[in-house]
């Protein structure tokens, strides 16, 4: 009797597997993403950003959201909805950011958040793409005549306590046989004031924050940001697990911005290139050849709209971190063929 039941159960399992496979095969032909569906139906992308972080996400003088992270939200909205302004920004503190994403209130989280092993595996979240490589960076007084972190032997650096910054400096010092003194503070404002008052030779934090700190100094030009980064803080976008097509859209939206820069396509020459180009790479990128947009579940003009509305990655970086803005050397965020880490998987 029990044998019969087992056989019956076995048959059911095989059958359901077959049905499952068939379903999967169908899904490949027409992309099914609950998040994409919801965004399209709503006509608005819900994007979780920082409550205010110079360079990444802030409200400019006219009350509009602006910044590198905001640019990614706008790019995704342009690709999916055809309009970069159809975004609802949700300002999130670091304590609530992941829960708000998990609960489905936002479609993506791009909040200068470090992509880590545990966040990927323990939170049920997908780390879609890295849009900013940073890490512990140093800013020192120009009159110190120091060009590299190695040369900081004997210098005193203002540091905020309660982070990994201190430990990273100690590790770096031990590994490279330099003695870097630290002066500790509880709050960034106190550390800035001490640096302004000349109590230390430099200030350290991760790249974007150091650049912001430099802009806030009494005489920003007296300070220089050193090129080395002594720890890893890859910042990027998170989406919920279980919706791979949506994760792909976020990932390839960032890649489209990088690819555009690699192909020398910018906001200004975009239309001209589209009209005149004969290069196969550019034609594929702009959707003149191939069906790359459709493979994502979008239309083939998606990448054109991204560059049209926010520009390529280099333009976006310069707008917020370039010499005229926060003045952070591009370093790791250069394209791979210029010595950086911004690299696009093959567009084929």
Partner 1 sequence: MTAEIPARSPAHRLAGHTAGSLSRGIRQAMNALRRNLFNSIGNTILSGMMLALFWLVIPPFVDWAVTHATIAGISKSACDGSGACWTFIKVRLPSFFYGSFPPTERWRVDLAALLLVAFGIPVLRDRVARRGLWVVLLLTVFPVLAGVLLVGGVPGLPYVGTHLWGGLLLNTTISFVAVAGSLPLGMALALGRRSGLPIVRMLSIGFIELWRGVPLLTVLFMATVMLPLFLPHGITIDNLVRAMVALTLFTSAYMAEVVRGGLQGVPSGQEEAAYALGLKWWQVQYCVVLPQALRLVVPGIVNTVVDLFKDTTLVTIVGLFDMLGAVNQAINDPAWLGLAKEGYAFAALLFFVCCFAMSSFGRRFERRLERSTPR
The answer to whether 320 contacts partner 1 (rule: CB under 8 A) is yes
The region of 100-108, 226-234, 245-253, 268-276 touching partner 1 under the rule CB under 8 A is 100-108
The CA angle 51-55-57, to the nearest 5 degrees, is 30
The region of 60-68, 143-151, 173-181, 282-290 touching partner 1 under the rule CB under 8 A is 60-68
Q: Residue 307: is it exposed, middle or buried by C-beta count within 10 angstroms (0-12/13-18/19+)?
A: buried
Find the binder of partner 1 among 13, 16, 64, 94 (CB under 8 A): 64
- Contact predicate 104/66, CB 8 Å: no
Question: Considering only residues 215-244, where is the footprint of partner 1 by CB under 8 A?
Answer: 215-219
The answer to whether 99 contacts partner 1 (rule: CB under 8 A) is yes
The answer to whether 123 contacts partner 1 (rule: CB under 8 A) is no
- Closest CB to partner 1 among residues 38, 295: 38
Find the binder of partner 1 among 76, 90, 195, 296 (CB under 8 A): 90
How far is it, in rounded angstroms, from Cα 160 to Cα 139? 14
Place of tokens 């790249």: 207
Q: 177-214: b or e for each residue (b if 16 or more CB lie within 10 Å)? A: ebebebbebeebeebbebbeeeebbbbbbbbbbbbbbb
Least distance from C-beta 329 to partner 1, angstroms? 16
Least distance from C-beta 237 to partner 1, angstroms? 18
The answer to whether 189 contacts partner 1 (rule: CB under 8 A) is yes
The answer to whether 75 contacts partner 1 (rule: CB under 8 A) is no
Q: 45-79: b or e for each residue (b if 16 or more CB lie within 10 Å)? A: bbbbbbeebbbbbbeeeeeebbbbbbbbbbbbbbb
- Closest CB to partner 1 among residues 44, 181: 44
- Closest CB to partner 1 among residues 67, 173: 67
Which helix (H) or strand (E) covers residue 257, if one does? helix 244-262
- Closest CB to partner 1 among residues 212, 265: 212
Binding pattern for the stretch 294-313 against partner 1, x by CB under 8 A and - elsewhere: --------------------
Find the binder of partner 1 among 105, 171, 264, 289 (CB under 8 A): 105
The answer to whether 6 contacts partner 1 (rule: CB under 8 A) is no
The residue count for binding partner 1 (CB under 8 A) is: 39
For residue 73, give both structure tokens. 């939200």
- Closest CB to partner 1 among residues 35, 342: 35
Give the SS3 label for residue 201.
coil
- Contact predicate 81/45, CB 8 Å: yes
Binding pattern for the stretch 33-52 against partner 1, x by CB under 8 A and - elsewhere: -----x------------xx
Find the binder of partner 1 among 39, 45, 89, 302 (CB under 8 A): 89
Sign for the pseudo-dihedral over CA of 186, 70, 95, 329: negative
Give the SS3 label for residue 169.
helix
How far is it, in rounded angstroms, from Cα 267 to Cα 132? 21
Q: Give the footprint of partner 1 on this chain (CB under 8 A).
A: 38, 51-55, 58-65, 88-93, 95-96, 99-100, 102-105, 189, 192, 212, 215-219, 320, 325-326
């Amino acid at each position: 009797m029990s044998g019969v039941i087992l056989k019956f159960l076995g048959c059911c399992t095989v059958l359901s597997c077959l049905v499952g496979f068939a379903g999967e095969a169908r899904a490949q032909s027409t992309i099914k993403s609950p998040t994409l569906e919801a965004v399209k139906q709503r006509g608005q992308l819900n994007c979780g950003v920082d409550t205010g972080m110079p360079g990444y996400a802030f409200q400019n003088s006219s009350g509009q959201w602006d910044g590198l992270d905001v640019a990614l939200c706008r790019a995704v909205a342009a690709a999916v909805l055809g309009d970069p302004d159809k975004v609802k920004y949700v300002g999130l503190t670091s304590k609530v950011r992941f829960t708000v994403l998990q609960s489905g209130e936002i479609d993506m989280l791009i909040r200068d958040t470090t992509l880590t092993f545990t966040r990927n595996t323990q939170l049920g979240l997908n780390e879609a793409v890295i849009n900013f490589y940073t890490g512990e960076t140093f800013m020192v007084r120009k009159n110190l005549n120091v060009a590299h972190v190695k040369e900081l032997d004997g210098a005193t650096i203002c540091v905020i306590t309660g982070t990994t910054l201190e430990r990273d400096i100690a590790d770096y010092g031990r590994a490279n046989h330099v003695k870097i003194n630290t002066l500790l503070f509880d709050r960034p404002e106190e550390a800035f004031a001490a640096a302004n008052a000349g109590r230390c030779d430099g200030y350290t934090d991760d790249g974007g924050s150091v650049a912001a700190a430099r802009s806030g100094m009494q005489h920003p030009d007296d300070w220089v940001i050193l090129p080395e980064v002594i720890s890893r803080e890859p910042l990027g976008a998170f989406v919920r697990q279980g919706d791979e097509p949506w994760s792909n859209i976020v990932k390839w939206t960032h890649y489209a911005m990088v690819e555009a820069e690699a192909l020398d396509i910018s906001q200004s020459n975009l239309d001209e290139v589209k009209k005149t180009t004969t290069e196969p790479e550019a034609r594929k990128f702009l959707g003149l050849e191939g069906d790359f947009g459709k493979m994502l579940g979008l239309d083939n003009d998606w990448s054109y709209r991204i560059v049209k509305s926010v520009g390529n990655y280099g333009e976006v970086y310069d707008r917020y971190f370039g010499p005229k803005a926060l003045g952070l050397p591009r370093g790791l965020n250069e394209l791979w063929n210029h010595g950086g880490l911004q690299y696009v998987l093959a567009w084929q």
